[in-house]
Every structure is written in structure tokens, then in C-alpha cells.
Amino acid sequence: MALYEHVLLARQDVSAQQVETLVETFKGIIEANGGSVPKVEYWGVKSLGYRIKKNRKAHYSLLNIDAPSAAVLEMERQMRINEDVLRFMTIKVEELEEGQSAMLQKRDRDDRGDRGDRFDRPGGGDRFDRGGDRGPRRDRPRRDDEAAPETTGAEA
């Protein structure tokens, strides 16, 4: 049997409980066709990069699947029929990841506040502060009330 990672995006206006029921339905399809789903992760509601079927947000879920390709094809066919599913993506992998996915690790790190303060980084501080004086702009003509930049003998 092959190993797959499957990400599912459900409409934003369904509840988390309904998404869980939806995932259990698809998990049942996999198991009925001789596969297994060792890990299911609910990532929560996240903003989409662009609108999909008039939705700006979606419920994200990850399923790690160990199943024959026929089971995955049947699950994907059922997802195309279901109006609550906005998008899905199945990727064949060499091995399934153990432990939490990168998305859950990021959320845990954000919840703990381990992102690190930008003032702790070298060159931190204001985002737009690049350090040093950049001098006058040379790409525009000077107005009459602006003084000419002072030059030293070495530059002239």
C-alpha cells in the first residue's frame, strides 16, 4: 500500500464539529476500501490566499493515509461531490511524518510566544530602520531653497 498526505479545505461557514464529521466520513471510505488513516490533524480556520467559491477563509485538516490508490481515488471522488469541500490535495510520500506537522508546531510556538522579539535580533528595532545616514537624494533636481551638498577636496 502507498502512503499519502492529504489536506482538505472545508467551507468557513460550517462548524468545526461538522468538519470533524466530514473527516470521519472520508476516513471511513478509506478504511472500507482496505486502507488506514493513522493520523488526523485539524489545523483550524485560516485565511485563504485568494477567494475560492466566494469564501475568504476555510477549515484546514490533514490526513495521513496508508491505503491503495483505489481507496484514495474513491475518497477524492466523494470530495468532488460534497459541496462543503472547497479544495483538497493528495500527495504521495515515501514515509509519513511522526509527531505534529509543521502547521501545529507553528501554532504551538505562536501560542507560547517563542517567535522571538524583533528587538532581540541583530539589526532589530524598527522594520524600516536600515541604519546609517543615506544622504540626500540625487535622482531629483534640487530646489532653490535647498543647500548643495558639501564636498571635500578629495571628491572634487
Give the CATH number of domain 2-94.
3.30.70.60
Q: State CA 36 to chain mean position distance.
A: 26
39: region left, alpha or beta (phi > 0 left; psi from -120 to 50 alpha): beta
Please list the residues that pair with 41 across neighbouring strands: 62
Instruction: Calculate ∠ Cα 75-81-84, nearest 5°.
Output: 95
pTM: 0.67
Per-residue pLDDT of the chain in tens (156 residues, 90 and over written 9) = 889 999 999 999 999 999 999 999 999 999 999 999 999 999 989 999 999 999 999 999 999 999 999 999 999 999 999 999 999 999 999 988 887 777 877 777 777 766 555 555 555 555 555 556 666 666 766 666 666 666 666 655
| Distance from C-alpha of 156 to C-alpha of 152, rounded to nearest angstrom | 7
Which pLDDT belongs to residue 107? 73
| Distance from C-alpha of 32 to C-alpha of 71, rounded to nearest angstrom | 8
Which pLDDT belongs to residue 74? 93
Domain layout of the chain by residue ranges = 2-94
